[in-house]
Structure formats: C-alpha cells, structure tokens
Amino acid sequence: MSDGLARTLFALSDANRLKIVELLKTGPLPVGEIAVQLQLNQPQTSKHLKVLLEADIVRMEPVANRRIYHLRTEVFQGITAWSQSFEQQMVSRMVRLEAYLEQQQNSVDSEGVNKNGG
C-alpha cells in the first residue's frame, strides 16, 4: 500500500470527514457552510478540513476573506483501483475453487462408474 493511499484512508476514517466529503460531492462550500451543515464549530471543521487537505482529498480556494473547499475526485481513483485488486483476487480464488470442485466431482463420478460398471 502506498503512503498516499494510507494517508487517504486515514483521512477518511473519521465520520465527520466522511460527512464533509459527502457534502462536497454536491459542489464547493465555504468552511462556515460546512460547519453549519454538520453542526460543528468552525475550529473543529477547519481541523478536519486540514486533514483532508493534507491527504489531497480537498483543495482550498481563497476568495476574499473566505476559504472555499473543493473535492478532488482523482484521489478516489486510487481507492477504486486498490479495492478492485481484492475483487480480482476473489474472482481468481473462485475460479480455482470451481476447477478443484469440478475435478473432485469428476473423480467421484469415475470411481462410481468403475465400481458399478466393472
């Protein structure tokens, strides 16, 4: 696992940060609006946003005296690729299991034919 992926997963391991990501899926928001929607105080919200910013999950755009946060969706491509590797591994295991079970069934069938037919 790469350091970047580990940082991303750590950042997303907090429920409030996940909620922030969900909010930002709909579009950019200022810190104050995020705080209001999550019913957090602004310092707490800023702390969570800092973690998300350091993990490259969000980017910040200063506009006058406000900080607008945008979701960076490209980071989720890495998570998707990583999780799909598990899916590929499971499919491979299932294919091997299916081949093994088929081999066992054929072995049982051939033993039965020899006993009954011979």
Burial of 38: CB neighbours in 10 Å, binned 0-12, 13-18, 19+: middle
Model pLDDT for residues 37-64, shown as the tens digit of each residue: 999 999 999 999 999 999 999 999 999 9
- Number of Cβ within 10 Å of residue 20's Cβ equals 28
Gap between the Cα atoms of 83 and 67, Å rounded: 32
Taking the model in full, what pTM does it have? 0.68
Phi-psi category of 9—alpha, beta or left, where left has phi over 0 and alpha has psi -120 to 50? alpha
Model pLDDT for residues 64-112, shown as the tens digit of each residue: 999 999 999 888 887 877 787 777 777 778 888 888 888 888 888 777 6
